[in-house]
Structure formats: structure tokens, C-alpha cells
Structure 1
Amino acid sequence: MLITGAELPDGRVRDVRTDEGRIAEIEGSLHSLPDEETVDADGLTLLPGAIDAHVHFRQPGHGHKETWATGSRSAAAGGVTTVVDQPNTSPPTVDGDAFDEKAEFADNAAVNYGINGGVNHEWAPESLLARPVFALGEVFLADSTGEMGIDEDLFEDALAAAADAGIPVTVHAEDADLFDESVYGADAGGVGREADADLWSQYRTAEAEIAAVEAACEGARGAGVEIHVAHTSTPEAADHAADAGMTTEVTPHHLLLSREDLDELGTFGRMNPPLRSEARREELYERVADGTVDLIATDHAPHTTAEKEAGLWDAPSGVPGVETMLPLLLAEVRAAGLTLERVRDLVAANPAERFGLPEKGRVEVGYDADLTLVDLDDAEPIRADSLHTKCDWTPFEGREAVFPELTIVDGEIVYDGRAGDRFTVGLGRNVRE
């Protein structure tokens, strides 16, 4: 494939040739070869495909919320070329058989993928870690998903097992002992968008996250390993992890939304950890911009509208986001909040480096041809009915975004927005194999 006239993140305009799934040449001008597919990228920016290190594609067990087919198409339409699925499915991915079952669903993926192994009191590390597991995690240091919550001893066992296997550990850090039980069960004044969802933010306190991050980092240092802290929602937690030499991710919803948005979102804004104050959000944004935070990942956690319209204390936690992550960040580039190079690092170069994917994350010769083309001058509002996830709502309805025109995985076009949203599915592969 020959991509002509593309602007790279550093501002250079170049032709880019791919061959056998890799970037083969980058030059000012390249001549097309016989029978070579050519993509005219005049006026477009060529970025490395995003790596979303935190998604919940729900299969097996909850395919009514999302499937590997729908979730991966949504990823491709958002410029994401690699996703990492989390283990809290049904059955949870805590042994070899459960891993194999999930891997069969992943055969339908339109993008490359990793499958994380889970840790609970029934996990079987011998059979689980004999599979091509991407990482352990997210390891829940709270009651976020009931049966997936673990104690300190099991956390230490997980750290040791991951160190022996040579794979990373991602943690969900909240200390349930610091939740404000006096708030739990309070009258939220309605359901759905009418509920006072700020009660959820009051219940799952910022202090619960900060303390858990501190404890997790201390435990990791004691074991001589590094951890990755998922969906950091407070600047204090991001600072502590950075000071401890650990890495962190921030979600688009914690980056761009705050408790001030909950009047409109209601239960659709319930997630774990919850939205924080506007002041904390602004400080967290600063950490993302200045490099304290290592990467952006979505925690894509789709639920049906009917499920989210339950009362505040019954509605499930989580929001969709795999298709809107990169488009929202590109809108931040247009607004001069982030540089294009910083966005590239947050969603591609840094996750590739952190999770041991040395051939991904950059538009350079020899790297995997996982790419996306965008028109930075073509912004549009996000509309749920135009997205490709099975989830029919988004917390970002109406927000400005820059959606990709084309997404390429291993040198093959998997999404073509210029051809009426045409997808090619089933090309994805496990990046650990």
C-alpha cells in the first residue's frame, strides 16, 4: 500500500509505503508499484493507530451490551488499532479454559488485541499464564466488581506470578474502607438522568483512590515490580504514582468531565472511580499535558440504556468510549489544550512502550503498519446514533470531535469512512502471539 501526501505529527509531508504489515518506506515522494493499492492523503494527517489499553468488550457472558465484533468495529472507526480487554466477563478470565473461551470471541475482531488475565480467589495462575496473556489486570483493590475484588495477600501473590511470567500488572486502586457509607443509599431524587449522581462521587471518595494508589505502589516496590494504575481520577494519585516510578492512565471522561456534568448525565455518569470536582479535573488535565500521566485509555464499559436508567444505587458503573477517545483528543489539539505530538504519545507511543509492544506506536520505518488518517480541519459533534458500538448512548453527546477517515491494521484497511463506513472484520490478532 502507498499512502501519498500525508502530513506526519511533526509537520513533514511524506509518502508512506507499507509492505507485509510493516512500514517499509517514508520519503518525500515515492512512485507507485504495479498493482499497488494507493491512498490519497492530501490534506490529511497520518497518525499511528491508537492503543486502548483498557476496554470491556463484554463477551463472554454479556453480549447484549457489546460484542467483540461491534466493539472492535467501534474501535476501528475511532482510530484504535489495538485494544486490551479486561477479565471481568462471565466467566471471568482467571484460568486457561476461560481465556480460551474469550479468545474464540476475539477471532471476530477488526483490530489487534490483547486479553488480560484476572485475579480472584478462584484464579488458576498455572493454566492462565500458560496462555498468551497480555497482562494481569485490572486487579481490583476494591469491591468494584464483587467477585473480582482481592485482598493484600492475593495482591502480593499476583505481583509475584506476573514477575515470574514477565508480564505487567494493572490495578484498579480504590480503598473501600474509605468510602463514605453515610451517603450510600441516600435518596437520589429520581432515576436515569434525573438522579442526583453526585452522591456516587461523594460515596466513592477521592481519598479512597489516593490511599489505594499509595498502598499499591508501596506493595509493588516491596515486591520489586512496577504496576500500572488504571483510570486515575485525581491529580494526587497521579503525582504519587509518578513519584513512585509507576505509570498511570487517565480516561477521557475523567479528563473532560467533572461533577459539574452530573446534573445532565445522572446515572449515565456513574462510573468507578467516579467523576471528581472541576478543580481536580483541571489539575488532572495539567498532569496529562505536562507528561506526569503516561497514557490515555478509555475503560470502555458499555451498558444498555435500560440498565443505566435504574436508580442510582442499582445502575451499573461505566461508560462507553473506545470510538470517541482519539476524536476527543484531536479536538483538544484544535483547541490548543494538547499538542498533536502529546496525543500521539498518550494513545500510541507510550502504551506501546509501557506494555512491551516495541513495533507499534510510531510512524517510522520498521514499525507495524497500524495507522489512521484524520482531517484536523473536519470537526463535528459526537452523536450516539452515528457511533458503531452496540451501546446506544454516550456521555459526550454533542461534544466536538475529529473522527478518522481511514484506519489501517497490519497494512490492511479495516475502516473506510470515505466509502460509507466500510469495515473489514476478522483481521485482528493477539499481539502476544
Structure 2
Amino acid sequence: MLITGAELPDGRIRDVRTDEGRIAEIAESLHSLPNEETVDADGLTLLPGAIDVHVHFRQPGHGHKETWATGSRSAAAGGVTTVVDQPNTSPPTVDGEAFDEKSEFAANSAVNFGLNGGVNDDWDPDSLLSRPVFALGEVFLVDSTGDMGIDEARFEGALAAAAEAEIPVTVHAEDADLFDESVREADAGGTGEDANADLWSQYRTATAEIEAVEAACEAARGAGVDIHVAHTSTPEAAEHADAAGMSTEVTPHHLLLSRDDLDELGTFGRMNPPIRSEARREELYERVADGTVDLIATDHAPHTREEKEAGLWDAPSGVPGVETMLPLLLQEVRDGGLTLERVRDLIAANPAERFSLDSKGRVAEGYDADLTLVDLDDSDPVQADALHTKCDWTPFEGREAVFPELTVVDGTVVYDGRAGDRFTAGLGENVRQP
């Protein structure tokens, strides 16, 4: 494939040739070879495909929310070329048998993938870690979310097992002992879009996250392991992890939404950790812009509309986001909040480096041909009925975004928005597979 006239993030106009899944040549002008597919990228910007290290594609067990086919198409349409799926499916990915079962579902993926292993009372590290596991995570520091919860002793055991297996550990850091139970006892909260979802933010306090991150970093240092802190929602937690030498991610919903949005969102704005005050959101945005935060990941966690319309204390936590991450960040570039180079690093170069994906994350000769083409002069409002996830809603309805024109995985076009949303599925591979 030859991509002609593409603008790279550094402002240079270049032709890019791919061959056998890699970027073979980059030059000012390349001639088309016989029978070579040519993509005219005049006026478009070529970016490395995004690497989303935190998604929940729900299979096995919860295919009514999302499937690997729908989730990966949504990823491809959003310029994401690699996803990392979390272990809290049914059965949870805590042993070799469950890993193999999930791998069969992932074979339907349109994009490359990694599969995280989980840690609970029944986990079998010997069989699990004999498989090509991407990382352990998201490992819960304390028992705050149910059957994937973990106590301090098991957390330390997970760190030791990951260190021996030489794989990363991703941590969900909230201390349930610091949740404000008086909030839950005082108010029923309401239902659906009419719920007072700000109570969820009051209940799962910022302090619960900040102190849990401190404890996780201390345990990791004691074990001689570097951890990755998932979905950091407070600037204080991001700063502490950075000072401790640990990496952090921030989700688009924590970056762009605040408690000011909850009157409109209701239970559709309930997630863990919850969104914070506008002041904290602004400070967190600054940490993303200045490099304190390492990467952006979505925590794509789809639920049906019917499920989210339950009462505040019963509705499931989580929002979809794999298709809107890069488009929303590119709109931030248009609006002057972030530079294009910073977005490139947040969604591609940094996750590739942090998780040892040595051939991904850059538009450079010899790297994997995981690419996306965007028109930075063309933005459209986010509309749930135009997205490709099985989930039929989005917390970003109506926000302006820059959606990709074309997405390429290993040199093959997997999404072509210029040809009526054409997809190529089943080409994704496990990025940890030898």
C-alpha cells in the first residue's frame, strides 16, 4: 500500500509505503508499484494508530452489552488499532482455560489486541501466566468492586507473580474504607437521567483514590515492581504516581467531564472512579498537557440503556468510549488545548513504550503499519446512532469531534469511512503471541 501526500504530526508532507505489515519507506515522493493499492491522503494527517490499553469488550458472558466484533469495529472507526481487554468477564480471565476461551472470541477482532489476566480468590497463576498474557490488571488494591476485589496480601502476591513472569501490573486504586457511607444512607439517589449522580462522586471520595494510589505505589516499590495506575481521576493521584516513578492513564471522561455534567447525565455518568469537580478536572487536564500523565485510555465499559436507567445505587458503573477517544482529543487540538504531538504521544508512542510494544506507536520505517488518517479541518458532533459499539448511547452526545477517514492495521485497511463505513474483521492478532 502507498499512502501519498500525508501530513505527519511534525508538519512534513510525505508518502508512506507499507509492505508485509510494516512501514517500508517514508519519503517526499514515492512512485506507485505495479498492482499496489494507493491511498490519496492529500489534505489529511497521518497518525500512528491509537493503542487503548483499557477496554471491556464483555465476551465471554455479557455479549448483550458488547462483542469482540462490535467493540473492535468501534475501535477501528475511532482510529484505535490495538486494544487491551480487562479480565472481569464471565468467567473471569483468571486461569489458562478462561484465557483460551476469551482468545476464541477475540479471534473475531478487527484490530490487534492484548488480554489481561485477573486476580481473585480462584486465580491460577501457573496456568494463566503460561499463556501470552498482556498484563495483570486491572488488579484491585482493595475489595471495592466485588468478585475481582483483592486484599493487600494478594496484591503483593500478584506483584511478585507478575515480576517473575516479566509482565506489567495495572492497578485500580480506590480504598473502599474511605467511601462516605453517610451519603449512601441519606439519599435514594433517583433513577436514570433524573438521578442525582453527584451523590456517586460524593460517595466514592477523591481521598479514597489518592490514598489508594499512595499505598499501591509503596507496595510496588517494596516489591521492586513498576505499576500502571488505571483511570486516574485526580491531579493529586497523578502527581503522586509520577513522583514514585509509576505510570498513569487518564480517561477521556475524566479529562473532559466533571460533576457539572451530572445533572444532564444522571446514572449514565456513573463510573468508577467517579468524575470529579470542575476545578479538579481542569488541574487533571493540566497534568495531561504537561506530561505528568503518561497516556490516555478509555476504560470502555458499555452497558445497555436499560441497565443504566436503574436506580443510582443499582446501576452499573461505566461508559463507552473506544470510538470517541481519539476524535475528542483531536478536537482538543483544534481548540488549542493540546498539541497534535502530545496527542500522538498520549495515544500511541507512550503506551507502546510503557507496555513494551516495540514495533508500534510511531510512523517510522520498520514499525508496524498501524495507522489512521484524519482531516483536522473537518469535525462533526458525536452521535450515538452513528457509532459502531453495541451500546446505543454515549456521554459525549453532541460534542464536536474529528473522526478518522481510514484506519490501517498491519498494512490492511480495516476501516474505510470514505467507502460507507466498510470494515474488515477477523484480522486482529494477540500482540503478546510469540
* TM bucket, shorter chain: over 0.9
Residue 88 of structure 2: SS of its match in structure 1? Answer: coil
- Cα deviations by residue, 1:166-199 (Å, 9 ceiling, x for unpaired): 0000000000000001111443453101000000
Q: Distance in 2 between matches of 1:16 and 1:181?
A: 57
Within 5 Å, which residues of 2 pair with 1:110-189? 110-189=110-189
Residue 209 of structure 2: SS of its match in structure 1? Answer: helix
- Cα deviations by residue, 1:6-62 (Å, 9 ceiling, x for unpaired): 000000000000000000000000000000000000000000000000000000000
Contact 1:188/1:199 (<8 A) preserved: no
Q: Distance in 2 between matches of 1:295 and 1:189?
A: 33
Q: Which amino acid aligns with 1:83?
A: V
Q: Distance in 2 between matches of 1:391 and 1:312?
A: 19
Q: How many residue pairs were aligned?
A: 433
Q: Which amino acid aligns with 1:124?
A: D
Decide whether aligned partners of structure 1 residues 185 and 63 sit closer, same or farther in structure 2, where only a CA change above 3 A counts: farther
Residue 23 of structure 1: SS of its match in structure 2? Answer: strand
Q: Distance in 2 between matches of 1:290 and 1:66?
A: 34
Contact 1:185/1:313 (<8 A) preserved: no
Residue 30 of structure 2: SS of its match in structure 1? Answer: coil
Question: What residue is the counterpart of 1:210 in the other structure?
Answer: 210
Q: Which amino acid aligns with 1:261?
A: D
Within 5 Å, which residues of 2 pair with 1:412-431? 412-431=412-431
Q: Which amino acid aligns with 1:273?
A: P
Q: Distance in 2 between matches of 1:162 and 1:185?
A: 39
Contact 2:51/2:82 (<8 A) preserved: yes
Q: Which amino acid aligns with 1:313?
A: W
Within 5 Å, which residues of 2 pair with 1:51-66? 51-66=51-66
Answering whether residue 278 of structure 2 is matched by residue 278 of structure 1, we say yes
Q: Distance in 2 between matches of 1:232 and 1:309?
A: 26
Contact 2:84/2:116 (<8 A) preserved: yes
Residue 267 of structure 2: SS of its match in structure 1? Answer: helix
Q: CA deviation at 1:233?
A: 0.1
Contact 2:189/2:312 (<8 A) preserved: no
Q: Distance in 2 between matches of 1:184 and 1:382?
A: 33
Q: Distance in 1 between matches of 2:173 and 2:360?
A: 28
Decide whether aligned partners of structure 1 residues 421 and 185 sit closer, same or farther in structure 2, where only a CA change above 3 A counts: farther
Q: Which amino acid aligns with 1:168?
A: P
Question: What residue is the counterpart of 2:403 in the other structure?
Answer: 403
Answering whether residue 308 of structure 2 is matched by residue 334 of structure 1, we say no
Q: Which amino acid aligns with 2:145?
A: T
- Cα deviations by residue, 1:209-267 (Å, 9 ceiling, x for unpaired): 00000000000000001000000000000000000000000000000000000000000
Contact 1:188/1:197 (<8 A) preserved: no
Question: What residue is the counterpart of 1:100 in the other structure?
Answer: 100
Q: Distance in 2 between matches of 1:144 and 1:92?
A: 17
Q: CA deviation at 1:419?
A: 0.2
Q: Which amino acid aligns with 1:7?
A: E
Q: Distance in 2 between matches of 1:147 and 1:304?
A: 21
- Cα deviations by residue, 1:54-102 (Å, 9 ceiling, x for unpaired): 0000000000000000000000000000000000000000000000000
Q: Which amino acid aligns with 2:174?
A: E
Range 139-148 or range 201-210, more displaced: 139-148
